[in-house]
Amino acid sequence: MKIDIPIFKKLKKISPNGLYTRSLIIIIAPIVVLQAILTFVFLERHWQLVTKKLSSSVVSEIGMIIKMQKETDQETISSYAKEFYDISINYYSNQEISLDNNIPKTIVERTLVREIGERLDTKTWVQDFPEEKKVKVIIPLGSSIIEFLIPRRNVYATNSHIFLVWMVISSILILSIAILFLRQQIKPIEKLAKAAESFGMGKKIENFKPSGASEVRKAADAYIKMQERIEKFIEQRTLMLAGVSHDLRTPLTRIKLQLEMLSKNRENEELLKDVDEMQYMLETYLDFSQTVSSEESSLVNINKLIEEVIDTSKDENKFIIFKPLKKNEINHKCKYIALKRCIINIINNAKAYGDKIIIKLSESDNEININIEDNGPGISEKDYEKALKPFQRLDSSRNQNIAGSGLGLSISQDIIKTLDGDLNLSKSEMGGLKVEINLPKIS
């Protein structure tokens, strides 16, 4: 049963997607929560308890000093207080203090005021001086007052911060070790993902070996076997179609020569046209089988590549217009021959159904866009996915009298996928088909 809670949806949106980041959060979050609870519950109570105990001890000392006033002279009391308790005492005769504005602010002031009130049953004036590391306590005695200057360490746990420091240092040490080991566990997964991505783009990482945990090694072994099966399948497909193409070319060539030697009439011309179409179909089948090429990537000037394709694709009554949206030339690291074949296929497809073709080239921060539009009959939106499948020709939108094998767009899409790009179909502003190619920029 799926639980639909709005807060979970919000957390899912802001949560990171990477395994490494998520694993770090799984490790860090409990430590942070534990330390927060520990600091709030234990440390806060520890400070309060220790401060209360120390304050109680100091109040006992103050009470003893006050009781000794009747039996011992002030100088002796002050001397003993300074010697044994490190407390300085000042006596002020015939003076009074106002306790109206004495509002305790710090934990030291609050604790001392409360302890003196409970144990000595008298009002007091307490002021904490953290910078001077002293606490001043003034207690009225009839018409006089007595002032105590007490070291702050006597009433407050000043070394509790050491616990915090050690807690933070130990946490950083634990997290550093955890991050180091976690990084080593994530690396094999990243290598596997990189190998799979490269293979999908028609590349192959040499010397890829399974490593890491047993589960990751098992997945890597499965990937290697899958890659070998796919490569074997592609090789068999290429050899099969190449063999069929080679075997059929010879009889087709003989048929074509025999037809050309016969008298020229309408029937012979139609037969020659059929033979030419069969040869063209064989070539497209071979192109389809060789979509995954071993060609190495190089820096390609996209502007010049499109201009070269236009020069070789000129035809009577066919207008091809190139509109680069920027004056600067666009360079991209990719497979030159594969990209050129892709654009040629799309232009030939557009020429077959329209007489005006517009090519637009632009770029953004993340990708390069190539749009090819024609003014032909176009394709229905529901048939876009079908048009990109191999050996598919659409009856409703395209003229079946035009020669073709139904592989042009399929070959182009496969090529763009090997370049880690996208190929999308949409309606052209001229009423025909618009083919949009998006190539990601490689940093």
Domain residue spans of the chain: 22-154, 295-440
The tokens describing 53, both together, are 């105990």
> Does residue 400 carry a pLDDT above 70?
no
- Higher-pLDDT residue of 167 and 440 is 440
3-state helix, strand, coil in the chain (%, to 5): 55, 15, 30
Highest mean pLDDT among 12-26, 92-106, 341-355: 341-355
The tokens describing 355, both together, are 């007489």
The pLDDT assigned to 294 comes to: 57
pLDDT bucket at 1, cuts 50 / 70 / 90? very low
- Calculate mean pLDDT across residues 102-107: 76
- Higher-pLDDT residue of 291 and 434 is 434
The pLDDT assigned to 284 comes to: 64
The pLDDT assigned to 141 comes to: 79
The pLDDT assigned to 371 comes to: 92
Classify 22-154 by CATH class.
Answer: alpha beta
Which residue, among 359, 344, 314, 361, has the nearest Cα to 409 in the 3D structure?
344
Determine the residue type at 16.
P
Are the C-beta atoms of residues 68 and 78 closer than 8 Å to each other? no
DSSP class of residue 295 equals P
- Higher-pLDDT residue of 43 and 405 is 43
DSSP of 386-420: HHTSTT---TTTS-TTS---S-HHHHHHHHHHHTT
Paired residues of 372 in beta bridges: 359, 435
The pLDDT assigned to 27 comes to: 82
Alpha helices in 262-335 (DSSP H): 266-289, 302-312
The pLDDT assigned to 394 comes to: 58
What average pLDDT is seen over the chain? Answer: 78
The pLDDT assigned to 339 comes to: 86
> Does residue 286 carry a pLDDT above 80?
no
Q: What is the tens place of the pLDDT at every residue in 298-352?
A: 888 889 888 888 888 777 777 888 888 777 788 888 888 888 888 888 888 888 8
Distance CA 433, CA 9 (A): 39
- Calculate mean pLDDT across residues 81-109: 77
DSSP of 181-204: HHHHHHHHHHHHHHHHHHHHTT--
Determine the residue type at 171.
S
The pLDDT assigned to 415 comes to: 82
pLDDT bucket at 8, cuts 50 / 70 / 90? low
Longest dimension (CA), the chain: 149
Classify 295-440 by CATH class.
Answer: alpha beta
Q: What is the tens place of the pLDDT at every residue in 419-431?
A: 888 888 888 888 8
32-46, 74-88, 108-122, 301-315: the lowest-pLDDT one: 32-46
Q: What is the tens place of the pLDDT at every residue in 173-185?
A: 888 888 888 888 8
Paired residues of 92 in beta bridges: 145
- Higher-pLDDT residue of 309 and 48 is 309
% of the chain surpassing 70 pLDDT: 81
The pLDDT assigned to 155 comes to: 79
pTM for the structure as a whole:
0.49
Determine the residue type at 160.
S
pLDDT bucket at 396, cuts 50 / 70 / 90? very low
